[in-house]
Every structure is written in C-alpha cells, then in structure tokens.
Chains A and B, each alone.
Chain A
Amino acid sequence: MSRETRLAETFVNLADTLVADFDVVDLLQDLVEECVALLEVSAAGLLLADERGGMRVLASTSEETRLLELFQLQVHQGPCLECIATGTAVLVPDLAAEAGRWPQFAAEAAQRGFASVHAVPMRLRAYVLGALNLFGTRPGALSEADVRSSQALADVATIGILQQRTIARGEVVAEQLQTALNSRVVIEQAKGILAATGGIGMDAAYRQLRGYARNRNLRLTDTARSVASGVLNPTQVLTGPWR
C-alpha cells in the first residue's frame, strides 16, 4: 500500500471513529501510533495545556516518549512547549545543532536516543490546546508532505478532543478536556493493576487493556474504569494476546 493510500485510509478510519460513540484517549493513542507508521519518525506524543497553567501528556507511543515529554514540563523548556506558547510549528531537524536553545531538553533527548523533534500545534482558532510531538532517532527534516500530514493529524486530534466540529463555547472545551484528563488517570490506575497482577511492564499492561477493549468493541476508558473499580477481573484482561 502506498503511503498516500495509507494516509487516506487513516483519515477515513479516524472520521469513522469521530461519528460513532468514541473514546477520546483511545482515538489519540491510535493517532500517535499512526504518526509513527505514516511519517518518518520513530516516536510520537500528545501534550495538552490545561486550564490551570499546567500541561499533561495525553498519549504517547511508549513510556520512554512520555517521560521525555514530562521532562520538558519539569525543566520548562523544549520545542513542544515553544510550539504551544507560540501556536506555530517548531521543526528541529537536528537537535544537537540547536542545543543552545534548550540545553537541558537537548541533553535529555539525546540520552534517550532522539536526534530530531518536530512539534505541530493543536489549535482551534485562537485556542492552542496542545501540540503533537514527533521524535526521530536520526537527524533529518520532515518532508513538506509529512509536515502537512502531521498538521492534518493534529487537527483530527483537536476535533477529537472537542468532539464537535462547530464549537462555540469555551466552556465545552474545558469540560471535554478535563473529562479526557481524568480518563487518562483512570487508565494509569488500571495499568498499575494489570501490571501488578500479571507481573508485566506498563507498556505491556496498556497493550493488553487496549487489545481487550478493542476485541470486544468497548471504550478504552470504560474498560479501564471497570478494571480500576474492581468490576472486571484483571486476569480476564491479561488472558490471551489481543494484538
């Protein structure tokens, strides 16, 4: 399948999800994974600004990526934060060459094996909700087509969070965002329960949880909530490889 065909298919699938009763966190997880499959990058994450001046990682392709995103928040520097602050894409093909801009972040990224970072904003008119962040293990610029595709994927993420294409009230943005952030907490709790029950790592626990939900056509957050509140036995989720 050509890259263009695959990209088109991704958008069709995402559009399908958006009209059905869908789970935001699940959609965003699909999206970061699609980024890695479609674009010349090896990891991806979604960073969201919340109303209280903080930022949260809502999806990432691995714990490693998530930790790097969190690191930016701790040191208050990095291309993703700059992208959110300015509302424009920040493309860094060679992080080592621009280490002077974000010395702590550049060092941490290099230590985790990343050499390039590209951040595209998730925005709705004047609002900047967050950024889609793409990490590469080798230095290199994104092609113009990839930059356009990643912005389109970031726009889908924005629509996904807002759940409505025509949105007027800022209140709805806040309601949806806070609900999504709490879903993320429920998922982390469920991951912990599955990890301890199965003696597995957090990435593996997350895969089991998503696989189980997908297999049964359940919403990821609902499944996580069932595990976290003790309604669903964790061993059931851990039985069988779902993907």
Chain B
Amino acid sequence: MSKRYAFHVNMALCIGCDTCAMACKNQYHQEAGIVWRKVYPVSEAIYPHRDRAWMSLACNHCDNPPCLEGCPASAYTKRDDGVVVHHPDLCIGCQQCLHTCPFGVPQYNPHTKKAEKCSLCWERLDAGLQPACVQGCPTGALTLVDLETFDDPNAIQFPPGFPHLPEVGPSTRFTLPEQPKIVRRES
C-alpha cells in the first residue's frame, strides 16, 4: 500500500519556538521575506493567552490540491505518497496558485518571478531523511505521519481557526493545545 504523508502538528507540545521555520530557511535559503513554514499564534478567542498557543503551518499537501488543478503550466504534481511538489522549472509565474490555494501557501518570489512553496523536502524523503522542519523540532510537536496508518484518536483535521474545507482535503492533522490551572497573584 502506498503512503500518504502528512504533517501532524501537536499544539499541546508546540512552544512556538520558530525552530521549524528557521530549519526550513537553513535548508533552502529562502531570501529574506520569503517563509515556507510559518508558526502562527492562535487567536485569544480560541486560546485565552496571547502568543502562547501556536499553529506551525506549511503546505497542507491536500488530497485535491487546488494549486495543481488551477495551474496552467502543470508546475504542480502530486506524488503517490501524497506530497504535492512544485516544479520551479515548469512554473511560469502567473500567480494563479496564489489565488486558488485557500490556505495562502504558495508565495511569489519577485526575483525568480515564480511561485514557490514547501514540497515536503521530497529530496530528503527520497534519501530516507526526515523533512528539515520535522528533524529540527525540539519537542516532538511537529512530526511526519502516514495517514494510511495514523490513528491518533485525538488528532483532528480542522481545528478552530483553520479553514474548514473537507472537499480540498488538507492532509495536516492537529492535536489541540491544553491549558494549565492558573493561579494569578492576588493584588
């Protein structure tokens, strides 16, 4: 059976340390201003403490990737293992994918005049290595899972604050953050 690779973002373990985002830059040397993985703070409406719960997001490597469907240059392919790869050599820089991706993943690089995004470190995967961000995560909050075998009962596909788009089928899975008992100073 073929694999279906996905990121599992365990927000209960995530400390928002930005290591994953920097590990990606370290590997791909994106120019200043271009970030493939970003660690977003969860809004206070969802988690009651500002900048204390985080959602580390890159490409969601969707089941039905709108970037691929809308690309006039066939610059996107979906591999058998689920990875949605962007091919810069085919990309014509039309920016269609920037509009069709509901998660705002592809970024336009004004220097190369092409789109770019996380392709799940497919070269590293093929070499038997973990994606750079996953290898870098110091707390085990970001892992690579195979959805064919992944059966964590606490993991969900659409946490609060993440676009609810079942028809697109984003592969990323989430575990929600927890809250400590808080004893504030009596002032």
Are A and B physically bound partners? no
Chain A contacts to B: CB under 8 angstroms: none
